């Protein structure tokens, strides 16, 4: 199944169902190297979503701003390698969505506990806005808000479920989006948690 949510935004429900357990095991392993942490926004607020990364660089925020960094500031070490199966599913999903040249450099791993949310934002720290972002949802579902190119454009809401992949490319790459507070509910594989992987091509001289 392949549903276009907007121009360049392709929803692949259940695309990673058969490998979801393996993805969750890798999330557990990589979080032993670079732990989940609550980062600080430049405005000084603690995020409710816990984050870590894998790959050649990782997204980071503190009072100095949003950016990609080659080393995990929490450990001083490189971020853990991107597992092969992560890269493979991201490339396959991008291909399925019509982006055959996608090469993920970084994977941001988001962990939502009950009540965690992500306010409406645009992703533009990558300096490669021609490449799509591939997102993978695991665990408890989340209500996702998908708007337009202006913050004030109306949003549509979708539930992102365990195993779903969405590829955000073309004009949708710069769409405003966010996640409503995650409901307190139970998933067999993750308990109360939701995980989201976002695969990104980064074009920065870091
Ligand atoms: C639409 N994550 O990490 S994934 C993020 O569920 C982020 O954790 C959310 O927004 C989450 O930046 C949403 C879906 C998503 C990711 C990136 C996008 C949608 C997007 C970039 C552009 C447009
Ligand atoms: Fe985002």
Q: Dump the DSSP string for the chain.
A: --EEEETTEEEETTTTGGGHHHHHHHHHHHHHHS--B--B-TTSPBPSSEEEEEES-EEEEETTEEEEESB-TTTSSBPPPPPHHHHHHHHHHHHHTT-TT----EEEEEEE-TT--EEEE----SS--SS-EEEEEEES-EEEEE--SSTTS--EEEEE-TT-EEEE-GGGGG--EEEPPPPS--BTTTBT-EEEEEEE------
Q: Whose CA is nearest to atom 17 of ligand 1?
A: 133
* Residue 52, ligand 1, Cβ within 6 A: no
Q: Is residue 206 part of a domain?
A: no
Q: Is residue 123 part of a domain?
A: yes
pLDDT band at 206 (very low <50, low <70, confident <90, very high): low
Q: Tens digit of pLDDT for each residue in 119-174?
A: 999 999 999 999 999 999 999 999 999 999 999 999 999 999 999 999 999 999 99
CATH number of the domain within which 40 lies: 2.60.120.590
Q: State the pTM of this model.
A: 0.97
Q: Whose CA is nearest to atom 6 of ligand 1?
A: 196
Residue 174: domain span: 3-200
Q: What is the ipTM of this complex?
A: 0.97
Q: Is residue 156 part of a domain?
A: yes
Q: Is residue 176 part of a domain?
A: yes
* Residue 51, ligand 1, Cβ within 6 A: no
- Count: domains in the chain: 1
């Amino acid at each position: 199944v392949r549903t276009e949510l907007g121009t360049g935004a392709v929803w692949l429900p259940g695309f990673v169902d058969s490998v979801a357990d393996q993805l969750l095991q890798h999330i557990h392993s990589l979080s032993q190297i670079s732990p989940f942490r609550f980062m600080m926004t430049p405005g000084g607020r603690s995020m409710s979503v816990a984050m870590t990364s894998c790959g050649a660089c990782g997204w980071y925020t503190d009072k100095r701003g949003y950016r990609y960094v080659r080393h995990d500031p929490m450990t001083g070490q490189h971020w853990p390698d991107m597992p092969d199966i992560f890269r493979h599913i991201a490339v396959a999903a991008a291909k399925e969505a019509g982006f055959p040249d996608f090469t993920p450099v970084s994977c941001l791993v988001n962990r939502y506990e009950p009540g965690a949310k992500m306010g409406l934002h645009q992703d533009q720290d990558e300096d490669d806005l021609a490449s799509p972002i591939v997102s993978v949802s695991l665990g408890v579902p989340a209500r996702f808000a998908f708007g337009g190119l202006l913050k004030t454009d109306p949003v549509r809401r979708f539930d992102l479920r365990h195993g779903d992949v969405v590829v955000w490319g073309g004009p949708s790459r710069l769409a405003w989006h966010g996640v409503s507070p995650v409901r307190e509910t139970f998933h067999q594989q993750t308990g109360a948690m939701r995980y989201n992987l976002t695969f990104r091509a980064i074009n920065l001289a870091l």
